[in-house]
Each structure stands twice: as structure tokens, then as C-alpha cells.
Amino acid sequence: MIDYRNIIKNRELRLKLINLLRFIPDEPYLKMVYRIKTGKKLNLKNPKTFCDKLNWLKLHDIHPEYTRLVDKVAVREHLKEVLGEDIGIPLLGVWEHYDDIDFDALPDKFVLKCSHDSGSVRIITDKSSMDHAALRRFYEGRLMQNPYILGREYPYRDVPPRIYAEQFMIPEGDSDINDYKFFCFDGKPEILFVATERSTDCRFDFFDMDFRHLDIENIHPQSDRPIPRPASFGQMKELAARLSRGMKFVRIDLYEINGKVYFSEYTIYHAGGFWPMAPMEWEYRLGDLIRID
């Protein structure tokens, strides 16, 4: 997903830009943004690379049920239907506005997120020291945004914006938990990357399905330390396969916490389709796995 907050710091100018962008049709918009971000041409007529095909899917692979998959609250019902249980991190509450939150009913530690976007995570480790004014401004601003306008990822267009709280699950002594993100093609996990050090200096390390390290860089640099194979890696692969069945491409994000696997989210267009893999060989290798004929 594009975040123009990192490009245009003035809030009024940013809002004016977003309002103007909403009137540009999807295909020319995607071509324009891809050119701006990568300096390269987006090939939608004869897509070959991973990014080409992700953007092609936005325009042509339309499934209304994907809206429920990217809704971080509603997806829990989908998990029950597919897996027989909700394996997401325990939910503490859902609200339409910040002032609706009953903080007295929440524990001292919890995590706040929005149901309709990415990047709205706030980890609360001491409820008594919360800056409510800052959090209110942040979340009420987030609730007014529609991520579809910036990334043209149609599943997000109709997700109802809400704030929700999850149980704080970071083990004692750790600043974060590893995030295991599986790239799945027609129900088959092919590679994954592990996101580490997300609260400090985020690192992405790619692996194959035998957990052998791959020399791929994408968005963030590789870690400078070994990443151990998770104890539940086999179960993770099985869950990723079940949850991705019938989808040309999807990224299934999972956690392992104290030996147990938890679902994080569905990501249907990795990095919005705007971050090519390096080396370029992997753009073509992953692109070949998305069948659009």
C-alpha cells in the first residue's frame, strides 16, 4: 500500500492530492504510480513479472468475497469456516470510534489496530500512561481514510473502518514477535519471508519451503543474524495452503508465539504490487507462478 504521508508532510496538501487522485481511473493510475516508484513501465497488456501480474490481478481478478478476507475483524468468521476455529490473536473489542472504547475493561497491556488498513498498529504496554489526545487524532484520522484510493486494491474499498484491540502476546523480554509471511499460488506455498525487528529496524529474510535462506531483498534489508526455523513450520505450511486454496496469489501471514501458530492477515497484493524483488530474476520466477491465462 502506498503511504503518501512519507512523501507529502503537509496534511492539507496531502488531502488535496488524495481527493484529486480518486478521479483517475484505475489502470492509468497504477501505471503512473508504478513509474513514479520504480522508474519502470508497468506491463498490463502482457504481464510477466510478479509486480506486473499483481497489478493485473487488481484490475481483472475480481472476487467480492476478498473484502471479508482483508477485513481484519470479519476474517475471523472465515477462519472458522475454513479451519473450524478462529486462530487469530484473541480479540478484546471492536469499536467504530476512539471515544467508544471502554479502556477500563481492557487489560494494562493490549494492541490497537484498524480493521481496514495497514500500519495502524499501536502497542500499549502501560494503559495508565497512554496519550489519549494523540491516539484519538491518529485513529480518527485513520478511520477517515480509504486505502483503496491510494493502492487501488479493490478488496479494501468496502471494508468498514473500525478500531479493534487484541491481546498483548509478545513474550516477556522481547520487543516484538516474528512474522512469517507465505507467498501462496493456487493454494501452494512456494517461498516465505520472516519479518523481524519490526519495532526498531525492520528486516526481511526470504526462505524456501525447506527453510533454506534465499538471497532476495525486498523493501527492507536482510537481517545480520541467523533466523531459526520455527518449531511449527510444518503446521504453518499446511495452514497457508488451506487458507490460500483457490486464489491465484495471496500472502498468508502467521505468527508463532510460545510454540503455537496464530493467524495475522491476508495480503492479496504484496507491497501493493509496487516493490519489485531483487535480484530481478525473482520477479520473473514468482511472476511465472501466477497463472492468468
pLDDT in tens, 27-47: 999 999 999 899 999 999 999
- Kindly tell me if the per-residue pLDDT of 199 is higher than 90: no
How do residues 93-122 score in pLDDT, each as one tens digit?
999 999 999 999 999 999 999 999 988 999
Closest CA to 44 of 33, 52, 36, 34: 52
pTM of the model: 0.91
Q: Using omega within 30 degrees of 0 as the cis cutoff, is the peptide bond preceding 279 cis? A: yes
3-state class (DSSP) for residue 220: strand
279 close to 158: Cβ distance less than 8 angstroms: no
What pLDDT score was predicted for residue 1?
47
Q: How confident is the model at residue 170 (pLDDT cuts 50, 70, 90)?
A: confident
How do residues 252-263 score in pLDDT, each as one tens digit?
999 999 889 999
Return the H-helix or E-strand segment holding 30. helix 26-38
Cell 484491540, residue? Answer: 165
Of residues 17 and 41, more confidence is placed in 41
Instruction: Share the mean pLDDT of the chain.
Output: 92
3-state class (DSSP) for residue 219: coil
CA distance 168 to 166: 6
> How do the domains of the chain map onto residue ranges?
1-42, 44-70+172-293, 90-168
What pLDDT score was predicted for residue 248?
98
Which residues lie closer than 8 Å to 219 by C-beta, 6 or more apart? 204, 271, 275
Of residues 13 and 126, more confidence is placed in 126
Closest CA to 68 of 53, 84, 79, 57: 79
